[in-house]
Structures are given as C-alpha cells and as structure tokens.
C-alpha cells in the first residue's frame, strides 16, 4: 500500500511540476495575443454572472471601457497579491474609462467576506464551471489562476496574462489603452 501511495505522489508531483513550470513561464513572459490558444476569442464574449448579492451582470455593461477581466479565487495566493494593485488602479483610472471585473471561481461567502475585508472597489462576480470554460475560451490553456484578459474600448483583446498581473504590466499594457501616456519608468 505504501508503494502505491509513493508512486501516486510522484505522479502528482510530476504533473504539478510541469504545470508549475508552464505557469511560471507564462507569468514571467506575459501571454501575448499570439501565444494564446489558436481558437481563443479575440473580442469580449457575451456572458452573465451574478454578484455576491445575486444581481446578474452582463459583459455589455462595460462596453466602451478598457476592461480588465480577471479570473481569481480567495484561496489563490497570486490572486490575492494582485488585488490591492487592481483596487489602486480602479481608483486612479476608473473615471478615465478603466473597469476591472473579477470573476471568482470560489464560494459565495468567501468572496463576500473578501470584498468587505479588502475594500474591493470593482465588481466581483461569482463564477463556476461556466467561468472556467469562459477563461479557457479566452485563451487560458492551463485553466490556471489568476488569469486576466485586457480588452480595449472596442472590445478587442489586447493582452492576456496567466499569473499575477503587476503594476508594471498595467502601466505597459493597460494605461496606454486609456489614451494616456504610460507613467514614467514603465
């Protein structure tokens, strides 16, 4: 019995290691449009997910804005790492046409509690297997979290990122879409 557990553990470790390497490579390089799966969507898809209060939200609510669509979970450390940056950028650039939307692959109570505790100032929607399928359709080949897709004001995909989206990446790939110069040093 112990031999089977060791073999099973080694198989799981090998799979996790391979996925971790792929995630690291995607995270450090940023997933450019050409790197996405060939069948990946290139425009904002139609979707409807509810917020923690049960109110449905449709993707067309944010048409005409630069949309940063982030798939995340409260149990995902890199996801939690990027949220304060998103809050800061939403506050700084929201009135200039920037809109973050988080689609949580998580439990209702966890998302509700997280939003309250961290002062999230952008919509958090609750996803399930439909959210995972949507992220895959948008190019998340590994079904990893966090996964973020940036759309320009015309709804065209301009950037994809598997792994944490940093302030530097936002300065490089998002701020210019607002028609503003990139901050100095980016």
In a 3-state reduction of DSSP, which class is residue 159? Answer: strand
- pLDDT at residue 36 in the model: 54
Tell me which architecture the domain covering 2-178 has in CATH: 3-Layer(aba) Sandwich (3.40)
List strand residue ranges (DSSP E) for 75-174, in order.
98-105, 124-127, 147-151, 157-162
In a 3-state reduction of DSSP, which class is residue 40? Answer: coil
The first and second tokens of residue 16, run together, are: 């996790």
Taking CA atoms, 134 is separated from 41, 108, 126, in Å, by: 9, 19, 13
In a 3-state reduction of DSSP, which class is residue 173? Answer: helix
CA 144, CA 26: separation in Å to the nearest integer? Answer: 10
Q: Are 42 and 155 in contact (CB under 8 A)?
A: no
Q: Are 90 and 121 in contact (CB under 8 A)?
A: yes
**Mean pLDDT for the stretch of residues 167-186:** 85
pLDDT tens by residue, 75-130:
999 999 999 999 999 999 999 999 999 999 999 999 999 999 999 999 999 998 99
Mean pLDDT score of the chain: 84
Global pTM value: 0.79
């Amino acid at each position: 019995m112990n031999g089977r557990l060791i073999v099973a553990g080694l198989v799981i470790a090998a799979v996790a290691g391979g996925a971790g390497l792929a995630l690291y490579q995607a995270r450090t390089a940023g997933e450019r449009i050409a790197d996405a799966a060939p069948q990946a969507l290139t425009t904002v898809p139609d979707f409807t997910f509810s917020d923690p209060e049960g109110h449905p939200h449709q993707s067309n609510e944010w048409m005409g804005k630069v949309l940063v669509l982030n798939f995340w979970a409260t149990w995902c450390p890199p996801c939690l790492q990027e949220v304060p940056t998103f809050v800061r950028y939403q506050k700084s650039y929201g009135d200039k046409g920037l809109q973050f939307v988080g689609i949580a692959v998580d439990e209702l109570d966890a998302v509700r509690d997280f939003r309250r505790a961290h002062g999230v100032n952008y919509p958090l929607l609750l996803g399930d297997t439909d959210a995972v399928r949507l992220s895959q359709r948008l190019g998340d080949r590994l079904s990893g979290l966090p996964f973020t897709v940036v759309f320009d004001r015309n709804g065209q995909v301009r950037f994809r990122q598997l792994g944490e989206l940093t302030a530097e990446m936002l300065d490089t790939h998002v701020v210019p879409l607002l028609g503003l110069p990139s901050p100095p040093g980016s």
